[in-house]
């Protein structure tokens, strides 16, 4: 079996080759005005995605959401309560929460990005697997879909509980990086189950081949946000048959800079669109951590094994 590091190198190398390929002759970013309401929603949803990185929001249900790193002030100002918090799943360590927000009338399903060794192994589990639970004959990236299936039953039960108690609340699925990919599947499944769900992902990698990506795109209410030369949305590579859900909203602003309405380009339509992140010819890992703020600053040490990562002297993958 290829090692994690060899897969990482192969993935980044392939992404670099794709990025280095000439963009279409008509490559030109087209700015379209987005509304102040959508901008404000992006800001709030980014903070909900950031909150999933904070350990205090992953293991103490029925509590108010907090961010010790002070990067989710809008979330902390809202009247929130977690319905379910989850972490430490055996295979992928999928982590996050389902919460209600009575200030904004929301039910929020939020997934953390990579925050453990098992998360990173899930990130680079490249083989595709059946995703027929989402759509007939569909397949998806193995690591991301496995993460969703580990969280699925608990998330669906928690959303049902919250929705039954708060039928007028809007349901949103959010996540950054790996968490964004898992949020895609959560939104798709919940929609299949009859819920109206808005999806907000930040720095999300590609989740599968064209069939499943197009199916989820056609469900609507998707808001996929990317940032300049963030390399993660270019993984897994197009060369391996992976494409994105649509549309994309591209942040054309530097790291550690305040995002304004004028910095956002979109919606950029299509599963392969060179007018946003895919057409950016650079690789900037720091860009992956900056989405309206330092989105992953609450993350624990990603190379620190937890007790459940080791069983009888062997790593549990």
Residues designated catalytic? 177, 230, 288
Within 10 A of 224 (CB to CB), how many other CB atoms are there?
Answer: 26
Inter-CA distances, 253 with 149, 259, 287, Å? 35, 7, 9
Distance separating alpha carbons of residues 109 and 128, to the nearest angstrom: 25
Longest CA–CA span in the chain (Å) reads: 57
Inter-CA distances, 126 with 22, 163, 215, 242, Å? 25, 35, 21, 10
Distance separating alpha carbons of residues 110 and 104, to the nearest angstrom: 16
What is the DSSP secondary structure assignment for residue 290, as one 8-state letter?
Answer: B
Within 10 A of 23 (CB to CB), how many other CB atoms are there?
Answer: 14
Distance separating alpha carbons of residues 176 and 183, to the nearest angstrom: 9
Residue 220 region, left (φ>0) first, then alpha (ψ -120 to 50), else beta? Answer: left
């Amino acid at each position: 079996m290829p090692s994690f590091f060899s897969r990482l190198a192969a993935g980044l190398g392939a992404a670099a080759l794709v990025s280095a390929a000439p963009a279409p002759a008509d490559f030109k970013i087209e700015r379209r005005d987005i509304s102040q309401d959508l901008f404000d929603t992006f800001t709030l949803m980014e903070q909900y995605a950031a909150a999933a990185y904070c350990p205090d929001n992953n293991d103490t249900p029925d509590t108010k959401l907090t961010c010790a790193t002070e990067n989710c002030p809008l979330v902390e100002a809202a009247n929130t309560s977690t319905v379910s918090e989850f972490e430490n799943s055996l295979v992928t360590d999928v982590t996050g929460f389902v919460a209600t927000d009575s200030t904004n009338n929301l039910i929020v399903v939020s997934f953390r990005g990579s925050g453990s060794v098992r998360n990173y192994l899930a990130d680079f589990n490249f083989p595709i697997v059946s995703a027929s639970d989402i759509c007939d004959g569909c397949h998806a990236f193995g690591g991301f879909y496995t993460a969703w299936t580990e969280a699925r039953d608990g998330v669906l039960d928690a959303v049902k509980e919250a929705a039954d108690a708060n039928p007028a609340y809007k349901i949103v699925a959010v996540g950054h990086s790996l968490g964004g990919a898992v949020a895609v599947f959560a939104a798709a499944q919940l929609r299949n189950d009859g819920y109206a769900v808005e999806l907000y992902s930040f720095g999300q990698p590609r989740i599968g081949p064209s069939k499943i990506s197009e199916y989820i795109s056609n469900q609507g209410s998707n808001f996929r946000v990317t940032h300049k030369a963030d390399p993660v949305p270019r993984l897994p590579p197009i060369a391996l048959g992976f494409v994105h859900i649509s549309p994309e909203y591209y942040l054309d602003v530097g790291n550690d800079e305040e995002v304004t309405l004028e910095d956002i380009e979109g919606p950029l339509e299509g599963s392969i669109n060179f007018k946003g992140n895919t057409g950016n010819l650079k690789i900037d890992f720091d860009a992956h951590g900056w989405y309206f703020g330092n989105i992953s600053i609450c993350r624990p040490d990603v190379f620190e094994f937890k007790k459940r990562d080791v069983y009888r002297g062997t790593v549990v993958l």
